[in-house]
A = this chain, B = another copy of it.
Amino acid sequence: MSSLLPPSTEGTPPASGGAATVTPAFSPLYQQIKGLILHSLQHGEWKPGEAIPSEIELAARFRVSQGTVRKAIDELAAENLVTRRQGKGTFVATHAERQVQYRFLKLLPDAGDASEEGPAQRTILECRRLRASADMARSLALRAGDSVIQIKRILSFVGVPTILEDIWLPGQAFKGLTAEQLAHYQGPTYAMFELDFGVRMVRAEEKIRAVLPDETQAQWLNVPAGTPLLSVERLAYTYNDVPMELRRGLYRTDTHHYHNKLN
């Protein structure tokens, strides 16, 4: 019935005053609805953990059928931006949920189950402001010289130091972040980012290599020099593919391994 974007002439005029684009850029209604919901998520109309309006409400709001809203939400759910719970509603996804904690951490113990280990113990080694190098700026879509926060920390499992991590965050978005905050917050760091800074990490990409640690790194991880380690370089994004964190981890793989499912 109605339509909302480029291809349309009645419910909302097309406004295609531009040049003759080769691709008319047909966009199905449910994609447009998805965009609208995404916009609301992005602008905090509903907070992480909260329920979004029911499908029927959204259908009424956007003047489309429930089925169309459903398909939009289906895609958001597939991208982990939202979580459906039958009988209860649809909820804004959060890194604080018990079930999907450490969603981005693929390191598993060789023996037993991650749940046996319990959560990682964090040791903050460093937390300071600095100016972005050219490289750093490019990765985080900043300008060279912009403020950046660097964090260095160790994650230990059952007392064994296993991950040595450097984290870089755009200073702008994380004003006032302190080492204490990082050390004392219970739960995933990404959950704290949501709560205290309104920054939601939505997806990430990792580049993995095998490397040898330098002396200092070997000491922090309590391994002999010459022990091969996994270098995991992660770029994490918020909405709209905006990069918000660069992380470089050194993983011990003598007791753990990086686990990946391929489909």
Contact = CB atoms under 8 A, between A and B. Distances in A.
A211 B228 contact: yes
Interface string A206-229: 111111100000000000001011
Given A207-B258, A208-B259, A209-B230, 14 more contacts: A106-B262, A205-B259, A205-B261, A205-B262, A207-B257, A208-B258, A208-B260, A212-B228, A226-B226, A228-B228, A228-B229, A230-B230, A234-B262, A260-B260
B208 A257 contact: yes
A255 to B, nearest CB: 10
A259 B228 contact: no
Interface of A: 79-80, 103-104, 106, 203-212, 226, 228-230, 234, 251, 253, 257-263
A257 to B, nearest CB: 4
B263 A79 contact: yes
Number of copies of this chain in the oligomer?
A: 2
Give the dominant DSSP class at A's interface. Answer: strand
